[in-house]
Amino acid sequence: MQKLQDSLKPIVALCKRRGFIYPGSEIYGGFANTYSYGPYGAELKKNIKDLWWRLFVHERRDMVGLDGPILLHPKTWQASGHVEGFVDALIDCKACKSRFRADHLIEEALHKSADGMNLKQMTEEIQKHKLKCPKCGAQDFTEARVFNLMFHTHMSKTGADGDIAYLRPETAQAIFVDFKNIIDTMRVKIPFGVAQIGKAFRNEITPGNFVFRVIEFEQMEIEYFIREADWQKTFDHWLAAMHSWCKKIGLSKNHVHEKEHPKELLSHYSKRTVDLVYDFPFGTSELYGLAYRTDFDLSRHAECSGQSLFYTDPETKEKFIPHVIEPTFGVERTILALLCNAYDEEMLENGETRTVLHFAPCVAPVKVAVFPLMKKEPLSEKAQAVFALLQRLWHCEYDDSGAIGKRYRRQDELGTPYCITIDFETLENDTLTLRDRDSMKQERLAIGQLIETLSKKLV
Ligand code: ATP
């Protein structure tokens, strides 16, 4: 079992040091809660998204993909309830001007849930218990007030209020808005799903915990359209599929749990929601969500757009608005869970500590690293030939600088599952060594067997 770090610090440091994740706009002093994915982070992210698309779109016959716009017609967000309801309660410290979520303040200071409290009750609770500002210690808060989490921008026409457009806070609505186009142009039959991967933006009041809560992130979402009667069995199917995904990407089963939302706290559109939560070093928190959105969204869009969003059964000609099961996966939270799950500092027999990321091969940014034992001919030529052979199939790295042990350590920190060394014996009999990241054991292998062996190992 993987030991959890009690802090994110070593992971954040490794991410910066090894080119996974950099703080955003660092040369200008940083731009709070934005991050840039460096070369290895970009590979990791792409592997996650490609694998997700392959498993949930290409390997199924009941799914199609979509790539909708970030800027949707503003009426979309009125119909979906986001203009009115996508809000948090915020409170400001008058002394130091720090801003907090009122519910978080209550929960953290009083260890009780603020779910279901209205603004007045939260303000009273904070005053009654004389809660202090976590930053400066003052007891001088404003009243709690609502704050909409949607970022907005102005369209070019006049800049007047009427020209406001919102950056989407979830990808889901882009799918609902195109539901009619999909049923009109594709030969989809209920049950079927539409999958989308894309950016979402939320003006979170208190972002934090590295990439766990950021203002710009990516979602991998599915809207799965069904008949109402089938919602329970479809819900169970997707819950199982989400667990299989966690297993596939290598998350330890012991750290992934289900959290059922109590009925009285469900979002306005949901009849049932189960979160998959992960044991992050800072606490057990939401990784993914699964919601039964009923026919809420399609009905609202039909009402607000005046368009018919009925589906007609091709055999019975029955017309109805489909119900929806929505599995949603955050890309950044996947990355953070994978990093926490994979990170390890191991004490070696010689007393050294090795830092290693035990990534599953399917997500590892680099699959194989190729080293000539020494940077000299004909070892280099042979190693480059092996590298060229593998490069066509997998993302590989070539490294000929420094002692071989250091080169292994560098790859361990990147989570590269296999390293290949070309040595003098290679020149004699065309064999090489294949070193396993986790066991650190090396096996000798004929070059002719390399591709077949790696194909089996890198699934
Ligand atoms: P939370 O309760 O943590 O704010 P949420 O319930 O609002 O999350 P959803 O609206 O269900 O989140 O969003 C779907 C998924 O998008 C989440 O499960 C998560 O993986 C991801 N996500 C949501 N908000 C953020 C954020 N601010 N930063 C990174 N990922 C996010």
- pLDDT per position as a tens digit, 241-298: 999 999 999 999 999 999 998 887 777 788 999 999 999 999 999 999 999 999 999 9
- Cα–chain center distance at 360: 16
Please tell me the number of Cα atoms within 13 Å of 362 on its side-chain side.
Answer: 16
Ligand 1 atom closest to 215 (CA): 27
Following CA atoms 210, 215, 218, 220 in sequence, which dihedral angle do they give, to the nearest 10 degrees? 100
**Quick check: CB of 195 below 6 Å from ligand 1?**
no
Per the CB < 8 A criterion, the answer to whether 308 and 224 are in contact is no
CA-proximal residue: ligand 1, atom 10 (nearest) = 170
- pLDDT per position as a tens digit, 89-114: 999 999 998 889 999 899 889 888 78
- The DSSP string of 78-91 is HHTTHHHH-EEEEE
Strands 35-37 and 63-66: unpaired
Over its C-alpha atoms, the chain yields an Rg (Å, rounded) of 26
pLDDT at position 160 over 80: no
- Cα–chain center distance at 122: 32
pLDDT at position 71 over 60: yes
pLDDT at position 3 over 50: no
- pLDDT per position as a tens digit, 164-199: 899 999 999 999 999 999 999 998 999 999 999 999
Question: How far, in Å, CA of 344 to CA of 101, rounded?
Answer: 34
For each of the domains in the chain, give its residue range(s) and CATH number, in order of start.
Answer: 38-73+160-339 (3.30.930.10), 92-100+111-148 (no CATH), 366-457 (3.40.50.800)
Residue 317: the pLDDT is 93
Residue 310: the pLDDT is 96
Residue 4: the pLDDT is 44
Ligand 1 atom closest to 275 (CA): 18
pLDDT at position 392 over 50: yes
pLDDT at position 355 over 80: yes
Residue type, 246: C
Residue 72: the pLDDT is 94
3 state DSSP class of 291? strand
Please tell me the number of Cα atoms within 13 Å of 74 on its side-chain side.
Answer: 14
Ligand 1 atom closest to 202 (CA): 27
Q: Where are the alpha helices (DSSP H) in 22-138?
A: 39-53, 74-79, 82-85, 102-110, 119-128
Residue 108: the pLDDT is 86
CA of 226 to the centre of ligand 1 (A): 24
**Quick check: CB of 213 below 6 Å from ligand 1?**
yes
**Quick check: CB of 169 below 6 Å from ligand 1?**
no
**Quick check: CB of 86 below 6 Å from ligand 1?**
no
**Quick check: CB of 76 below 6 Å from ligand 1?**
no
Here the tokens at position 315 are 């055999």
**Quick check: CB of 386 below 6 Å from ligand 1?**
no
**Quick check: CB of 293 below 6 Å from ligand 1?**
no
CA-proximal residue: ligand 1, atom 14 (nearest) = 328
CA-proximal residue: ligand 1, atom 9 (nearest) = 289
Per the CB < 8 A criterion, the answer to whether 146 and 89 are in contact is yes
Residue 159: the pLDDT is 52
**Quick check: CB of 217 below 6 Å from ligand 1?**
yes
Strands 216-226 and 256-260: unpaired
Q: What is the mean pLDDT of residues 355-359?
A: 97
3-state helix, strand, coil in the chain (%, to 5): 35, 30, 35
Question: How far, in Å, CA of 289 to CA of 330, rounded?
Answer: 9
Question: How far, in Å, CA of 41 to CA of 49, rounded?
Answer: 12
- Distance of CA 452 to CAs 129, 256, 383, 393, Å? 67, 33, 18, 11
User: How many CB atoms are located within 10 Å of the residue 118 CB?
Assistant: 10
Question: How far, in Å, CA of 336 to CA of 363, rounded?
Answer: 13
Least confident range from 113-117, 200-204, 389-393: namely: 113-117
pLDDT at position 1 over 50: no
Average pLDDT, the chain: 93
Please tell me the number of Cα atoms within 13 Å of 378 on its side-chain side.
Answer: 8
Following CA atoms 233, 239, 244, 246 in sequence, which dihedral angle do they give, to the nearest 10 degrees? 170
Ligand 1 atom closest to 288 (CA): 18
- pLDDT exceeding 70 applies to what percent of the chain? 97
Look at the chain and count its residues.
Answer: 459
Q: Which residues, at least 6 apart from 377, have a Cβ–Cβ distance to it below 8 Å?
A: none
**Quick check: CB of 41 below 6 Å from ligand 1?**
no
- pLDDT exceeding 90 applies to what percent of the chain? 83
Least confident range from 20-24, 101-105, 353-357: namely: 101-105
Per the CB < 8 A criterion, the answer to whether 418 and 399 are in contact is no
Ligand 1 atom closest to 207 (CA): 27
Question: How far, in Å, CA of 259 to CA of 139, rounded?
Answer: 34
Per the CB < 8 A criterion, the answer to whether 171 and 224 are in contact is no
Q: Which residues, at least 6 apart from 6, have a Cβ–Cβ distance to it below 8 Å?
A: 281
Peptide bond before 322: cis, by omega within 30 degrees of 0? no
Ligand 1 atom closest to 219 (CA): 16
Predicted TM-score (pTM) of the model is: 0.92
**Quick check: CB of 333 below 6 Å from ligand 1?**
yes
H or E element in which residue 1 lies: none
Query: What number of helices (H) and strands (E) belong to the chain?
Result: 15, 23
